[in-house]
Structure 1
Amino acid sequence: MNNWDDIRYFLAVARKGSVSSAAKVLGVNHSTVSRRIQAFEEKHGVRLFDRQRDGYVMTAAADAIYEQALEMETLSLSVSRTLLGQDQRLEGVINLTMSHDIYECLLAEPLSRFRAQYPGIKINMRVTDTLLNMVNREADISVRKTGNPPDMLVGKKVCRMQHGIYASKDFDLACLKDPDYVVPIIVWEDEQETPEWAATLFPNSEIVMWVDDLASMYSAVRSGMGVARIACYYPELLMSAGRETPDQLIQQLPFAQAPSEWGVWVLNHVDLRKTARIQTLRKFLINELEGHRALFETSRYT
């Protein structure tokens, strides 16, 4: 019978293509991974990886077991989630993820209060705009701005989000009356064509920059790079947190936008819906965010 750790080490090397990268993922040193892979190969009398100068490449033997190894991983993770789902202790680690702006400006201080109230619960915080994999427990709870959460997740849409059209404070609305003026716009990295809002408001427009996060979009607008559609909460959040004085640097243009399909969600995997510590933190986060509902749902022009 194979040790599950053998499969776990095999998959890490197969995915990362190197022993050193796999070691970082597994939280062990380089020599441990190398030793475990070598022992696994010797146990079965096969070579799983060709050691090349640019990394480890799977052999035909590795290809033959890769899908089965993935199935074993899925089953192991399912067992782990099922057991965790029965845990009624208010202690242990919670893997929590959210974006930088929500953590730094809204939830950092409340989470400190939560820890004081529940000293047995420890938080492993991942501050990122990326939706982490909640199937393999990269995150147990995710505070996310999204329009359509994955099906395997359960949670609550705490509030909807309102968007507005923003430009730098120096942007002169009078220029829009000039039929020859081309409005520079800033869009998200996955928007290769002019988005609907820009085509409707500014028929004569041109994409001048693509960005991959909200802070970058705000900074680009503030610098005068162009016009963008931004979630209204962000400039107001920076102002309320004392990070910026948006009224001196950025302006919301007088164009009403329909409420967004996106909202602020607090999510967890369906298998963890009964885990005591996870549900305790989930309810705490929902309560804190509901106190900021007006921030997310209000626009100067509606």
Structure 2
Amino acid sequence: MNWDDARIFLSFAREGSFSAAAKRLGVQHSTISRRIHALETQLATPLIERSANGFQLTASGVELRATALRIEKEMLAFEADNSGQNEDPSGELKVTAVANMASSILMPLFASFCRENPSVDLRIEVTNDSVRLAERDADVALRQTNSPGETLIGTRLTTVASAVYGSKSYCAAVHTGESSENWIGVDCCDYHRTWTRQACPDLQHSLCVDETSLTIAAIREGLGLGFLPCFIGDSDPDLIRFREPEIQHNLGLWLLYHRDLRDTKRVKVFREHMQRAITDVSHRFEGKLN
């Protein structure tokens, strides 16, 4: 049995389905199914079985998962100890960030890093979901949180403030009593979802959206109010603050990585670059208008 077969099986064991494992590895659904079935034939024992709730591991599958996890841990530790230690940083660096932040305020910082470190292959991936850094879904995660994971280490880069925004005409109409105070239902992240529920406990929304760009578009159309990070809301000339930022809505912007990568050269250089570069735009993150 080779490691690639074990890696494919481990991906299935983590995700619980052929399709999810295929998406994680970037291969076809049929590839996952075929390789696992071939592995079962090679080992002469079933590893997975269908149940009422989908698929589950057999006793042999559970044992193989434990073995594969140990192998993966050793290989990742070896890679961390023996890669990216050259004086000049080089190689691939996978960074994950929230889409609206990566495509706007952070992109100039990424660009300057690429110019300063041409031998590093910077790969930016965007997601609002949690990323398993211990399993090397990414090398570095830029995340908004006030409670980074205990298994991770990192640097708090700045504070991300949020405020309630509306279109200029809509806010004026609400203040004069011509329009009622309506809220756009948002499902882009846990934070804005929770804050919207607190501001609008009856959950009566004429429009619900699940992505920040849709929230912005709806606010521009005068469909109601919504929470936005200040670096987004303040940069849009069609929007205005309906409520000023409140301290309970502040989030830390963290640069996180697994402790095994702390001494990897390209990770260290990226961390130091972001710490320096973020100072030029920290006022925008913090919602300081002057």
Place the TM-score, normalised by the shorter chain, in its bin: 0.7 to 0.9
* CA displacement at 1:10 relative to structure 2: 2.4
Structure 2: gaps spanning 5 or more residues: none
Counterpart in 1 of 2:247?
258
Paired residue type of 1:195: R
Greater gyration radius: 1
Output the CA distance in 1 between the equivalents of 2:253 and 2:194: 25
Matches within 5 A, 1:153-302: 153-173=152-172, 175=174, 182-189=180-187, 191=193, 195-197=197-199, 206-236=204-234, 239=235, 246-247=236-237, 249-253=238-242, 255=244, 257-258=246-247, 260-299=249-288
Output the CA distance in 1 between the equivalents of 2:71 and 2:62: 14
| 8 Å Cα contact 1:160-1:259 kept in structure 2 | no
Counterpart in 2 of 1:99?
98
Output the CA distance in 2 between the equivalents of 1:297 and 1:193: 18
Q: What whole-Å deviation, never above 9, does each CA across 1:238-264 have from its counterpart, x for those lacking one?
A: x4xxxxxx33x2221254523634122
Paired residue type of 1:164: A
TM-score when normalising by structure 2: 0.79
Structure 1: gaps spanning 5 or more residues: 52-56, 240-245
Output the CA distance in 2 between the equivalents of 1:40 and 1:205: 50
Q: 1:5 to 1:152 in 2, by over 3 A?
A: same
Paired residue type of 2:269: T
| 8 Å Cα contact 1:183-1:206 kept in structure 2 | no
Runs of 4 or more consecutive aligned structure 1 residues displaced over 6 Å after TM superposition: none
| 8 Å Cα contact 2:95-2:122 kept in structure 1 | yes
| 8 Å Cα contact 1:135-1:269 kept in structure 2 | yes
| 8 Å Cα contact 1:157-1:264 kept in structure 2 | yes
Q: Which moved more, 1:25-34 or 1:275-284?
A: 25-34
Q: Which moved more, 1:277-286 or 1:72-81?
A: 72-81
Q: 1:70 to 1:275 in 2, by over 3 A?
A: same
Q: 1:287 to 1:74 in 2, by over 3 A?
A: farther
* CA displacement at 1:49 relative to structure 2: 5.0
Residue 68 (structure 1) aligned with residue 67 (structure 2):
no
| 8 Å Cα contact 2:165-2:225 kept in structure 1 | yes
Identity %: 25
Q: Alpha carbon RMSD of aligned pairs, Å?
A: 3.4
| 8 Å Cα contact 1:183-1:205 kept in structure 2 | no
Paired residue type of 2:42: K
Residue 137 (structure 1) aligned with residue 132 (structure 2):
no
Q: What whole-Å deviation, never above 9, does each CA across 1:61-112 have from its counterpart, x for those lacking one?
A: x421343333334333332332233231222211111123332223334434
Output the CA distance in 2 between the equivalents of 1:205 and 1:183: 13
Q: 1:92 to 1:210 in 2, by over 3 A?
A: same
| 8 Å Cα contact 1:148-1:262 kept in structure 2 | no
Q: 1:151 to 1:58 in 2, by over 3 A?
A: same
Q: 1:45 to 1:213 in 2, by over 3 A?
A: same
| 8 Å Cα contact 2:184-2:206 kept in structure 1 | yes
Q: What whole-Å deviation, never above 9, does each CA across 1:254-281 have from its counterpart, x for those lacking one?
A: 5452363412211111221111111111
Output the CA distance in 1 between the equivalents of 2:276 and 2:241: 29
* CA displacement at 1:134 relative to structure 2: 1.0
Output the CA distance in 2 between the equivalents of 1:256 and 1:101: 19
Q: Which moved more, 1:288-297 or 1:253-262?
A: 253-262
| 8 Å Cα contact 1:163-1:299 kept in structure 2 | no
Q: 1:58 to 1:102 in 2, by over 3 A?
A: closer
* CA displacement at 1:198 relative to structure 2: 5.1
| 8 Å Cα contact 1:156-1:267 kept in structure 2 | yes
Counterpart in 2 of 1:11?
10
